[in-house]
Amino acid sequence: MSLRAKLLYPLLLIGLLIGIYLYAIWVPRTLANDEAAHFRAVDQHLDSVVEAMIPLLLGSQLDIVHENLNALKAKNPAWVDIRLVNAEGKQLYPLASSAKQSGQLTSPGVRTLEKKIRYLDTDLGTLVARVDLAPSLANTRQEIRELSLTLLGVMAALMVTIIATTEITVGRPLRQLAKASVRLARMDFDTPLPKAGPDEVGKLVSSFASMRNELQNYNSSLLHEIAERKDAEEALRQLNETLEQRVSDEVAANREKDHMLIQQSRLAAMGEMVHNIAHQWRQPLNSLGLIISNIQDDFKFKAITEETLARDVSDARRLIEKMSTTIDDFRDFFRPDREKSSFDVAEAVREAVFIVMAALKNNSIEIAVDVPPDLTATGFPSQYAQAVLNLLVNAKEAILESETANGQIRVALRKEGKEAVLTVDDNGGGIAQDILPRLFDPYFTTKDQGSGIGLYMVKMIIERNMEGKIGAANIENGARFTLSIPLEKAS
């Protein structure tokens, strides 16, 4: 469909709708309103005539009544018939009807009005008037026809003007642009274009010209790019020949980096172990010192006996055995797992709590542990315990760094669906919002002496080795770390 037709059809449709509205709604409504206005005027006139007749009928002055009605009829040619009937139904006016009047009464424009003539409670009669509204409505119809013809003429002129203007300002330039686009597709960049003007079509022409120039520049540089692409393909071919070796070198470097991370994590954990062994041994060493001092005092004051010596030696041996047991417990904790196995999640958590218990007591930090038994998972129990230990150490350091009075750590284990979910809460002041997204990144730390690998190793252990999830969030006065690992499937 051409642009001319696309403009003409909507204009014709609008004209048709306007014509339908005029002749189906507006014209009948206007005629009805005009008729109602004439009818109201006649009704008001008839009211005044009835008021004037009351004294004449009371005085039986019928001759004057006849004169007044004749004058009224002569003055109003549209009143084709006037009848006056008394209360008994006897016609008082006119005395006879002409044939001409009978013909006029059948006109479609004739309307009948009846007015009762009453004085107080006395019925004096009825005045009936038949009025032909056709002459007055004829003028209105003529005005409507003239208005409609004028409107149709204006619309026709408007359509012609719009179509002609559109053809000159839009149609021709667009056809020229269409021809230019066909030639441009054939790489003919010297195609003439319409003159660019300030209107939208002119802007389109300017945009088309810019596009043509860009295509010309692109075409001129295309051969150069092809040559560069060939050079790049040659370089890529040479790169592929050495790619296998480079990938192997990179994998070895990453493996070495992971090994260093694990080694650093284990060294940090061993440092924590030595620190906690020192806490565990402090009280037994004090007790051993007291036993040795007692033996020396007994010997000095000659109060030593075989019984007291046996008791002191037994106490000292018991303390030494306790210290040796502590070393065994720590050594077993850090023994690497060779392969996955079933383990009690609660037991692994309790082992991690045991490692830091002495350090927590030494720093007056309370720890509450709620770990129900019978939650079995498949994985590396030593690695899981090490991950929990890292979280406990992190919570302890956060409490000490924030100098929180009445430091508290809460460890809770629960079953959620097919997962064992462990939460470690502290009241160490929480984690800054800008740090939370980077909390588990390698080598990221906010501590002066931190390595930045503790939480990263926890993430690796839980997500990669245990196929679980780890999360961190702030709670009231502190932070919460959550470890979720899948439970062992029932056999």
Q: Lowest-pLDDT range, 149-153, 246-250, 450-454, 467-471? A: 450-454
CATH of the domain at 420: 3.30.565.10
Contact yes or no for 435/466 (Cβ under 8 A): no
Q: How would DSSP label each residue in 443-482?
A: T---STT--S-HHHHHHIIIIIIS--EEEEEEETTEEEEE
pLDDT tens, position by position, 377-416:
998 888 888 889 889 989 998 999 988 889 999 999 999 9
Q: What percent of the chain has pLDDT over 90?
A: 15
Average pLDDT score over residue span 21-50:
85
Tell which of 157, 180, 198 closes a domain: 157
Question: Bigger pLDDT: 428 or 163?
Answer: 428
Residue 282 lies in a domain: no
Residue 113 lies in a domain: yes
Contact yes or no for 104/82 (Cβ under 8 A): no
Handedness of CA 146, 148, 153, 154 (dihedral sign): positive
Question: Bigger pLDDT: 97 or 82?
Answer: 82
Average pLDDT score over residue span 228-235:
84
Tell which of 91, 122, 157 closes a domain: 157
Residue 237 lies in a domain: no
Tell which of 97, 127, 157 closes a domain: 157
Question: Bigger pLDDT: 19 or 451?
Answer: 19
Residue 329 lies in a domain: no
Location of structure tokens 């339908």:
20
Q: What is the DSSP letter of 182?
A: H
CATH of the domain at 133: 3.30.450
What is the predicted pLDDT for the residue at 450? 59
Question: Bigger pLDDT: 264 or 488?
Answer: 488
Residue 145 lies in a domain: yes
Residue 409 lies in a domain: yes
In this predicted structure, the answer to whether residue 219 has a pLDDT above a threshold of 80 is no
Q: What percent of the chain has pLDDT over 70?
A: 82
Residue 353 lies in a domain: yes
Average pLDDT score over residue span 221-235:
83
pTM of structure: 0.41
Question: Bigger pLDDT: 76 or 169?
Answer: 76
Rounded distance, CA 120 to CA 130, Å?
A: 27
In this predicted structure, the answer to whether residue 98 has a pLDDT above a threshold of 50 is no
Q: Lowest-pLDDT range, 10-14, 174-178, 238-242, 356-360? A: 174-178
Question: Bigger pLDDT: 251 or 482?
Answer: 482
Rounded distance, CA 368 to CA 425, Å?
A: 10
pLDDT band at 203 (very low <50, low <70, confident <90, very high): confident
Helix (H) or strand (E) holding 114: strand 110-119
What is the predicted pLDDT for the residue at 345? 94
3-class DSSP assignment, residue 422: strand
Handedness of CA 397, 402, 405, 407 (dihedral sign): negative
pLDDT band at 334 (very low <50, low <70, confident <90, very high): low
The boundaries of the domain holding residue 458 are 337-491
Rounded distance, CA 132 to CA 130, Å?
A: 7
**Neighbouring residues of 144: CB distance < 8 A, sequence distance ≥ 6:** 27, 30, 31
Rounded distance, CA 438 to CA 431, Å?
A: 11
Residue 280 lies in a domain: no
Location of structure tokens 């190793």:
457
pLDDT band at 136 (very low <50, low <70, confident <90, very high): confident
**Residue 289 is encoded by which pair of tokens?**
């010192």
In this predicted structure, the answer to whether residue 103 has a pLDDT above a threshold of 70 is no
Beta strands 408-416 and 366-370: pairing type? Answer: parallel
Rounded distance, CA 331 to CA 206, Å?
A: 81
Rounded distance, CA 439 to CA 474, Å?
A: 12
Q: How many domains does the chain have?
A: 2
